[in-house]
Amino acid sequence: MELYFPTEFGERLAYCSAAVTALIGLFLMFAPGYTYRILKLQVKEGRSDAYGEARSAGGFMLGFGLMAILLAQPMIYLALGASFGVAAFGRILALMSDRGSVIFSLLLLVVQAILAALPFLYGLGYI
- Per residue in 37-93, pLDDT (tens digit) is 888 888 877 677 888 888 899 999 999 999 999 988 899 999 999 999 999 999 999
Termini Cα distance of the chain:
27
Mean pLDDT, residues 7-16 taken together: 91
Domain boundaries, the chain: 9-124
Burial label, 42 (beta-carbon count in 10 A; 0-12, 13-18, 19+): exposed
